[in-house]
Structure 1
Amino acid sequence: MNKEFINAIDDLVREKGISKDVLIEAIESALVSAYKKNYGTAQNVRVNIDREEGDVDVLMRRDVVEEVEDEFTQISIDEALEIDPRYQVGDVVEYRVTPKDFGRIAAQTAKQVVVQRIREAERGIVFDNYIDRQGELITGVVQRISNETIFVNMGNTEGILVAGERASGERYKVNDRIKAYIMDVRKSTKGPQIFLSRTHPGFVEKLFELEVPEIEDGTVVIKSIAREAGSRTKIAVYTEDENVDPVGACVGTGGSRVKNIVDELFGEKIDITTWDDDPKVLIKNVLSPAKVEEVMVDEEEKAATVVVPDYQLSLAIGKSGQNVRLAARLCGWKIDIKSHSQYFDAPEDEEEYIEDGIEYVDDDADEYGIEYVDDEYADDAGEEGEEEAAEDVDAETDEEVSEDEDMSEDRGDELEE
């Protein structure tokens, strides 16, 4: 050990961000173990490294006693007084016992400790950097693919994107660039593990922040997102600025902003609607592109009954109940959809009729409190029925058609293709 060793330590401290004292103390501890391994485990020694010159000293430590019982850890008062007349019983005598060939052992041990400490420090730095970045969007390069798991090179570390966190139909090759959402960061024996996702609703939120300046600066706020990755996403936005149209800001001129997001999601449909604190208005908005006639709410149960035109029922429900299911998630209300004829032409014994008429189109419907009350329309809620209803909506020219419906029609012509 010498001055060059200390200079090398200083360079590592600047480059890797490791504390110099921590690194040298670790080397000293390792050298004590190396000494005991080579010269006797019973000896009571400590190692001191000069922080300036790099000199290494092995110091034997013995307790001053009247009568010696262990010659490796104790020294008699008579021997101690020969070293220094100021010693008393109970003091500790410390003197150098550095072996002649200890420099070689020290250098080898120091190298191993330094390499290990650097590796640990780098792992710690990576973990500290990414633990605070959960919920952020990253861009990386596909480094390797193993059993449907994609490992993404993020620069100074590797992210993990498992098959379940990708939408069906997404395929990647090595060296492809990929955007992903940092879902979780964990410590492991092999270093930090960073788990990525492309199915998380937060992924869509971050894409909108990236594309829409009004969201990034806080002018427009994303209130809620409901997503079925690879198929459809509903997003509710809000602004307090009367001069800003929150939906228009997210769509962009000619749909340019939302188109970039749809392209990143491989054609996933996106419905953008306006958030409203009035639950009646909100529920009407979130069921877009379906037209709603009337909304009745039960504040205590947080449940709503929605009446739609007969020809709009299949569109309101959506394919396999997707539209109403996402709407219920988006607003947080239970939604019971009825056709106009069902609600206004119901028989006197309405409860019995409704009970007989309930049709759960999807297994998830019960979980989100969704009820369908017309067998015929529920059965027609397939793709063909939805397309026919959508054509009816496109034919509407009434000025009362909401901005969200217009946006949905434009998106059908310009984006969904």
Structure 2
Amino acid sequence: MNKELLNAIAFLSKEKGVSPDVICDSLEAVLITAYKKEPEANPMADVELNRETGDYRIVAAKTVVAEVTNENEEIVLAEARKQNAAYEIGDMVKVDVTPHNFGRIAAQAAKQVMIQRLREAERSIVYDEFYNRTDDIITGLVQRIENKIVYVDLGKAEAVLPVSEQIAEEQYYVGQRLKCYVVEVRKTTKGAQILVSRTHPGLLKRLFELEVPEIYDGVVELKSVAREPGRRSKIAVFSRDTNVDCVGACVGPKGVRVQNIVTELQNEKIDIVKWDEDPAVYIANALSPAQVVSVTIDEENKMSAVIVPDYQLSLAIGKAGQNARLAAKLTNWKIDIKSESQAKDGNSKDNEGEPDILSELSVPVSPAGDTE
């Protein structure tokens, strides 16, 4: 029994996190590669490795013949019967062709090949692990920052947080603990390349799933997310249980749940609104914290005309149109906002044959977020 080999396989399996079967497969490939470098190697040879005892040998399959014409492929009947007297001409025999000094030669020739194969196996395991976490949240430590690109240590691998996926208002530093959203995992010659984001709407969704048990359990459903990273976000939630307040569940006792998320996103403001199957109600909710007087919808064109009190107009629109823009993204409806006094003026113009409120409103905002 080759205890040294078995111990080495067990050690490598534990150290590298690679299955013993993968190591044995690699070892078999290494042994046959080393053998074929021998001057008189049989090109038809293969390796037999006993995975229970650790013993191995190089064997070549040969045909039993009366007279040998090709030593690599044939064996004379008398030689074959030394192994087993039952052999007859035409039978296939496995012949041990292991060189006498093969142990030393194999060790020298196999070292680099084994290292390379183990690295490939490690990379494959890491890739599979992180590929399965695509569209999920992951926590790591900022390892280094080069040309504003942040490299995040995930333990077994390193993730890249490019400038385009960073929140402009955030400051990153070495040793900082970050929660990121896994956007993509690519397989490269150097291993898994993991692209993460701090701006993706999915990050906000996953953070709420972590903080709010009702969302994780499926009692509360997160219907939609609209986000302007680092500044403000809106989420629409719906409760499948009439006894559960979906907005209250997300806010948490004394606001602790939403505050944890706000802190993680470095004080990004978050509005939590109630989703409704009635588009008019949903749009009114989406414009929170502004109060809405009425909502007129055009189902065919996915347009809505919203009237708010005069003193609520600036709040409904938001700074630089932010509130209206996020509401449009959240609901996927075009939203035109007008105050009550502007609506009255518009109605007067309608009576004079002028365009109606749907076509002439003060702040039309599309779901894409562009103020027209």
| TM bin (shorter chain) | 0.7 to 0.9
In the alignment, the residues of structure 2 paired with residue 56 and residue 119 of structure 1 have an alpha-carbon distance, to the nearest angstrom, of: 23
The residue that corresponds to 2:355 in the other structure is: 351
Q: Distance in 1 between matches of 2:50 and 2:356?
A: 90
Offset of residue 335 of structure 1: 1.6
Aligned to 1:368: 368
The CA deviation at 1:68 is: 5.5
Map 1:110-259 → 2, pairs under 5 A: 110-259=110-259
Superposed, 1:270-285 pairs within 5 Å as 270-285=270-285
What is the rounded CA distance, in whole Å, between the counterparts of 1:38 and 1:86 in structure 2?
A: 32
Q: Is the 8 A contact 2:59 2:96 kept in 1?
A: yes
Unaligned 5+ residue runs, structure 1? 373-417
**Cross-structure match for 2:25:** 25
Q: Secondary structure at the match of 1:39?
A: coil
1:26–1:339 distance in 2 versus 1, CA, 3 Å: same
Q: Which one is further off, 158-167 or 16-25?
A: 16-25
State the shift of 1:82 in Å: 8.3
In structure 2, what residue type is equivalent to 1:351? P
| Contact 1:247–1:274, Cα closer than 8 Å, also in 2 | yes
CA shift for structure 1 position 149: 1.9
Question: What whole-Å deviation, never above 9, does each CA across 1:141-164 have from its counterpart, x for those lacking one?
Answer: 111222222221222222221121
Q: Which moved more, 1:41-50 or 1:287-296?
A: 41-50
The Cα shift of 1:292 comes to 1.4
Closer/same/farther in 2, CA of residues 61 and 265 from structure 1, 3 Å limit: same
Separation in 1, partners of 2:72, 2:238: 77
Aligned to 2:35: 35
* 3-state DSSP of counterpart to 2:174: coil
Deviations 1:307-333 (A, max 9, x none): 223443333222333221211111122
Aligned to 2:99: 99
Give the Cα–Cα distance (whole angstroms) in 1 for the partners of residues 260 and 55 of structure 2: 62
The whole-number CA distance in structure 1 between the counterparts of 2:266 and 2:220 is: 25
Following superposition, the deviation at residue 248 of structure 1 comes to: 3.0
Paired residue type of 1:332: N
Alpha-carbon deviation of 1:208?
2.5
Equivalent-residue separation in structure 1 for 2:299 and 2:120 (angstroms): 55
1:95 and 1:64 mapped to 2: Cα distance? 11
For the pair 1:72 / 2:72, whether they are aligned, the reply is: yes
C-alpha contact (below 8 Å) 2:34/2:110 kept by paired residues: no
Q: Structure 2: any 5+ residue segments left out of the alignment?
A: none
One-letter code aligned to 2:354 = E
**Do 2:36 and 2:43's aligned partners in 1 also have CA atoms closer than 8 Å?**
yes
**CA distance, structure 2, for counterparts of residue 186 and residue 157 of structure 1:** 12
Aligned partners of 2:326 and 2:369 also within 8 Å: no
In structure 2, how many angstroms separate the alpha carbons of the residues matched to 1:97 and 1:241? Answer: 73
Aligned mates of 2:167, 2:369 — CA distance in 1 = 25
Distance in 1 between residues matched to 2:249 and 2:19, nearest whole Å: 49
Identity over aligned pairs, percent: 52
Query: Relative to 1, partners in 2 of residues 1:370 and 1:341: Cα closer, same or farther, differing over 3 Å?
Result: farther
Q: Which moved more, 1:219-228 or 1:13-22?
A: 13-22
Question: CA 1:151–1:50 in 2, change beyond 3 Å: closer, same or farther?
Answer: same
Match of 1:398 in 2: none
TM-score between both structures, scaled by the size of structure 2: 0.85
Residue matched to 1:400: none
8 Å contact kept, 2:63–2:73: yes
Q: Deviation digits for residues 5-47 of structure 1, max 9, x if unmatched?
A: 1232234445655444443233222222222222246632222
**Bigger proportion of residues as strand:** 2
Q: Is the 8 Å Cα contact of residues 287 and 324 (structure 1) preserved in structure 2?
A: yes
Secondary structure of 2:188's counterpart equals coil
CA shift for structure 1 position 282: 0.9
Task: Number of aligned residue pairs: give it.
Answer: 368
How far does the alpha carbon of each residue in 1:280-323 deviate from its partner, in whole angstroms, 9 at most, with x for none? 11111101122211111123333211122344333322233322
TM-score (norm 1): 0.76
Identify which range, 134-143 or 54-63, moves more after superposition.
Answer: 54-63
Q: In 2, are the aligned partners of 1:150 and 1:162 still within 8 Å (CA)?
A: yes
Alpha-carbon separation, structure 2, partners of 1:19 and 1:39? 34
Structure 2: how far apart are the matches of 1:333 and 1:366?
7
RMSD of aligned residue pairs (Cα, Å): 3.2
TM superposition shift of 1:216: 3.6
The CA deviation at 1:175 is 1.1
> Deviations 1:58-90 (Å, cap 9, x if unpaired)?
224333457765443345668767887755554
Evaluate the alpha carbon distance shift between residue 324 and residue 55 of structure 1 in structure 2; reply closer, same or farther with a 3 A threshold.
same
Residue 49 of structure 2 is matched in structure 1 by 49
SS at match of 2:34: helix
The corresponding residue for 2:328 is: 328
Name whichever of 154-163 and 252-261 sits farther off.
Answer: 252-261
Is the CA contact 2:337–2:362 (under 8 Å) kept in the aligned structure 1?
no
CA distance in 2, matches of 1:212, 1:71: 73
Preserved CA contact (<8 Å) 1:45 1:58? yes
CA distance, structure 2, for counterparts of residue 84 and residue 265 of structure 1: 75
CA distance in 1, matches of 2:357, 2:221: 42
Residue 349 and residue 67 in structure 1: after superposition, are their counterparts in 2 closer, same or farther (change >3 A)?
farther
Partner of 1:295: 295
